[in-house]
């Protein structure tokens, strides 16, 4: 790999491998994993825990205590490879591997000591077949594996049975939804959409009035899954993957899967910049896109809307004070036109920490991409966090700050609309 791979050597004490603090604010660990074999995933996760200074027998015990409800959220965006993609690849370049889910659930159960609950779930893409997904993942045995209840939830209130009707809310079928319902958060003037004219807003569905109403003046609403929002601990297990609308999708963009009311999610503004929109770069591309069978709306770095929504989701989630933990699944990642039509990227890496934001920033640097050219991450770098506040360790006991991670590293390629994420401008279709 090109770039900086080593740095200062950090010290370990003699009590279970606790990392001596180097004075940084956020700690992130990375570990190699050669395959998705359960034993190899567990070894890599244990290496992450060791670097983070966690207890060897109950590593999540400082986050999870008996009696708590723990929500584990993988990326379950799809149940099969999309037929509209121009090539075929492994589904595990798109979704989180079940063996990582199982290893983390095992440690959550250890920490609960027989009291509490584990919930594993997501709000997948509206066209995903959840029964098919469960057959692919083979996780049903977890429901009876532990000495605490373990539920697996499909949180979608609406399902699309036919992609020809995608975007038409009245054509959707009822989904199981969250058994606890919805927690609506109003960010008000804190929302980054507050100062944006909402008249061209477009959410998931064509019923734009619903989206506009949810994001007008002091009304800045997001309907979170109550099972996620009410949980005592939130564990995020995203896929390491590029994304055609936001650049990369990790923990923060993955919070879209925590939202039950999809029309609260503003994805773009209709049209092109000279008319106040950011759906397409210009009039010609807008016409071409409108006539295309598979539409690529908002899929470029000039989309000045969706990144604001991602920042809002993180701020909304942060309002819930509780324990957070994340492991990014980069054993096989996805590059190119994510979230669905990626090319598999055998990266052999897991990245972990307790700050969703810090882990996202460190992961983007490890992917060899520039976080300052990803609008939602650049916002946080300008207002809330610095790269030199994030320490990133590895199994060789090297420590770098995130700003010291340079070069191509894992050498990820973004989609065409995000060429500027790499210094050489290379991309994958």
For residue range 164-203, what is the model confidence (pLDDT) as tens digits? Answer: 888 899 999 999 999 999 999 999 999 999 999 999 999 9
Q: Is 167 left (phi over 0), alpha (psi -120 to 50) or beta?
A: left
Whether the CB-CB separation of 254 and 236 falls below 8 Å is answered with yes
Token reading at 138: 């083979």
Average pLDDT for residues 80-94, to the nearest whole number? 96
- Tell me which residue of 224, 220, 149 sits closest to 188, measured CA to CA: 220
Say yes or no to pLDDT of 160 above 60: yes
Say yes or no to pLDDT of 98 above 70: yes
- Cα 192 vs. chain centroid, distance in angstroms? 20
Q: State the pLDDT confidence band at 38, using cuts at 50, 70 and 90.
A: very high
Say yes or no to pLDDT of 13 above 80: no
Q: What is the pLDDT of residues 101-123, one digit of tens each?
A: 999 999 999 999 999 999 999 99
**Residues ≥6 apart with Cβ < 8 Å to 356:** 236, 251, 252, 314, 317, 324, 326
Terminal-to-terminal C-alpha distance of the chain: 23
Q: State the pLDDT confidence band at 23, using cuts at 50, 70 and 90.
A: low
Say yes or no to pLDDT of 423 above 70: yes
Q: What is the pLDDT of residues 145-158, one digit of tens each?
A: 999 999 999 999 99
**Residues ≥6 apart with Cβ < 8 Å to 32:** 44, 348, 349, 395
**Residues ≥6 apart with Cβ < 8 Å to 134:** 140, 152
Token reading at 175: 């989904």
CA distances from 273 to 157, 200, 288 (A): 34, 11, 16
Say yes or no to pLDDT of 12 above 70: no
Q: What is the pLDDT of residues 290-348, one digit of tens each?
A: 777 667 899 999 999 999 999 999 999 999 999 999 999 999 999 999 999 999 999 99
Q: How many CA atoms lie within 13 A of 136 on its CB side?
A: 18
> What is the value of pTM for the model shown?
0.93
Q: What is the pLDDT of residues 212-236, one digit of tens each?
A: 999 999 999 999 999 999 999 999 9
Q: b/e per residue, 101-134, with b = 16+ CB within 10 A?
A: bbbbbbbbbbbbeeebbbbbbbbbbbbbbbeebb
Largest CA distance in the chain: 65
Q: What is the pLDDT of residues 52-68, one digit of tens each?
A: 999 999 999 999 999 99
Nearest-10 Cα torsion for 130, 136, 132, 84: 90
Say yes or no to pLDDT of 352 above 60: yes
pLDDT at 21: 42
pLDDT at 70: 99
What does residue 376 show for φ and ψ, rounded to 5 degrees?
-70, -35
**Residues ≥6 apart with Cβ < 8 Å to 269:** 196, 200, 201, 202, 276, 277, 278, 279, 304, 305
Average pLDDT for residues 344-365, to the nearest whole number? 99
Residue with token string 């995903």: 128
| Averaged pLDDT of the chain | 93
CA distance 154 to 333: 23
Average pLDDT for residues 276-281, to the nearest whole number? 94
């Amino acid at each position: 790999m090109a770039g900086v791979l080593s740095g200062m050597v950090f010290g370990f004490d003699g009590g279970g491998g606790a990392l001596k603090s180097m004075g940084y604010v956020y700690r992130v660990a990375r570990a190699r994993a050669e395959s998705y074999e359960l034993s190899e995933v567990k070894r890599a996760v244990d290496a992450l825990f060791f670097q983070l200074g966690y207890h060897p027998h109950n590593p999540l015990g400082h986050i999870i205590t008996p009696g708590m409800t723990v929500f584990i959220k993988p990326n379950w965006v799809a149940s099969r490879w999309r037929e509209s993609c121009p090539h075929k690849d492994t589904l595990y370049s798109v979704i989180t591997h079940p063996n990582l889910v199982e290893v983390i659930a095992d440690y959550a159960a250890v920490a609960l000591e027989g009291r509490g609950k584990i919930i594993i779930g997501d709000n997948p893409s509206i066209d995903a077949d959840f029964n098919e997904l469960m057959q692919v993942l083979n996780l049903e045995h977890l429901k009876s594996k532990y000495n605490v209840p373990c539920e697996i939830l499909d949180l979608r209130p609406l399902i699309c049975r036919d992609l020809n009707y995608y975007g038409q809310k009245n054509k959707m079928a009822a989904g199981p939804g969250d058994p606890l319902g919805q927690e609506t958060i109003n960010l008000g003037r804190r929302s980054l959409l507050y100062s944006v004219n909402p008249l061209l807003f477009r959410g998931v569905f064509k019923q734009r009035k619903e989206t506009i109403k949810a994001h007008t003046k002091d009304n800045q609403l997001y309907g979170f899954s109550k099972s996620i929002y009410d949980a005592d601990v939130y564990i995020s297990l995203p896929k390491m993957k590029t994304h055609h609308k936001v650049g990369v999708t990790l923990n923060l963009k993955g919070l879209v899967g925590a939202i039950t009311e999809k029309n609260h999610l503003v994805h773009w503004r209709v049209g092109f910049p000279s008319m106040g929109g950011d759906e397409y770069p210009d009039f010609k591309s807008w016409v071409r896109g409108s006539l295309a069978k598979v539409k690529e709306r908002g899929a470029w770095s000039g989309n000045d809307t969706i990144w604001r929504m991602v920042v809002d989701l993180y701020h909304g989630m942060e309002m819930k004070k509780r324990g957070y933990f994340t492991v990014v699944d980069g054993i096989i990642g996805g590059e190119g036109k994510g979230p669905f039509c990626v090319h598999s990227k055998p990266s052999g890496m897991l990245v972990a920490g307790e700050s969703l934001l810090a882990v996202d920033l460190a992961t983007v640097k490890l992917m060899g991409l520039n976080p300052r050219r990803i609008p939602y991450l650049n916002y946080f770098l300008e207002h809330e966090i610095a790269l030199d506040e994030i320490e990133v360790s590895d199994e060789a006991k090297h420590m770098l700050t995130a700003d010291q991670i340079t070069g191509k590293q894992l050498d990820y390629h973004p989609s065409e609309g995000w060429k500027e994420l790499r210094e050489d401008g290379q991309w994958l279709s």
